Amino acid sequence: MKKGVVICMKKLKIETKQKMIGFAFVSPWIIGFILFSAYPLLYSLYMSFNKVKISGDKLKMQWVGFANYNKALFQDAEITNSLIKVLQNTIIIIPIIVVFAIIMALLLNEEFKGRSLIRAIFFLPVLLTSGNLIESLTAQGQGSISFLKSDTINNLIAGIGGSWGDTLKAVLDSFLIILWYSGIQMLILIAGMQSINPSVYEAATIDGAGKWESLWLITLPNLMPFILLSTIYTIVDQFTAPFSKIMNVIKWHTQNVKTGYGYASAIAFLYFLVIMAVIGVAALLFRKSITNKRGR
């Protein structure tokens, strides 16, 4: 029995030793997370419940409870307007990007000569996602595809009218630039397609499936986790794009002496809640693929 206890102690020690080594490897990130993510996040949450004034080099806080949130949601029309606009934009843009990425990934997965050159071309716009560059290009009218500027389409949109019409028009005006945002999603989806076992396709061809059937019954169901990953990536990417309206609103309020940092933090947190809600909707739509996902 004494020997059993000794062996037990030794086992425990090896296990904890390994855990300590693992922790040591991960610790730089934990320190960075606490310093640069967790602390600012919690401090920002604290600030959003206060009215913040800058006196000299320090911040003076004055507890106001939910007043900032009240003001942002129910009193300030600018904020609700920009939030709704941002939501409208993303509801239209995200499916466009993901569907385009799926189509291009399917095309780029075929074997043909010059495939790496074409892949390089389609991946090139990822290098150009600087906000100022895209703004300069859109200002010179390079944002959209020429046949989308035709009169029939304009009349159709004028018929829809209202705020949805404005959003549609803005989307069509920068359609090409929107397609440019799908580079990384293409990469994810191509990687996903490589992970499907090719013998499944062979078995299907033996059973008489054509290309069309194998696309819908083999490729797309297996790609679902990757499509979810791409969707989440697109959501985060679009919402943190530097030139959306709500960013400017937040930035402006940080400079504003009357409302100050507290108000800006409240708006930022509301924005964050909206993002989480959208991601939640996406996860709900794809819930079947989550249950099959391993490792998380």
Which residues within the stretch 153-172 sit at the binding site for another protein (CB under 8 A)? none
Burial class of residue 147 in the structure, from the number of CB atoms within 10 Å of its CB (0-12 exposed, 13-18 middle, 19+ buried): exposed
CA distances from 258 to 49, 54, 177, 255, 264 (A): 15, 11, 37, 9, 11
Sign of the torsion angle spanned by Cα atoms 41, 229, 25, 7: positive
In the beta sheet, which residues pair with residue 55?
Answer: 58
Q: Segment near another protein (CB under 8 A), from 30-38, 68-76, 85-93, 283-291?
A: 30-38
Whose Cβ is closer to another protein: residue 167's or residue 186's? 186
199 touches another protein by CB under 8 A: no
Sign of the torsion angle spanned by Cα atoms 144, 234, 281, 163: negative
User: What residues numbered 66-95 form the site for another protein, per CB under 8 A?
Assistant: none
Q: Segment near another protein (CB under 8 A), from 2-10, 60-68, 118-126, 163-171?
A: 118-126
* Closest CB 68 distance from another protein, rounded Å: 13
210 touches another protein by CB under 8 A: yes
Return the SS3 of 155.
helix
Whose Cβ is closer to another protein: residue 116's or residue 155's? 116
119 touches another protein by CB under 8 A: yes
The structure tokens 């400017």 sit at: 248
* Closest CB 18 distance from another protein, rounded Å: 5
279 touches another protein by CB under 8 A: yes
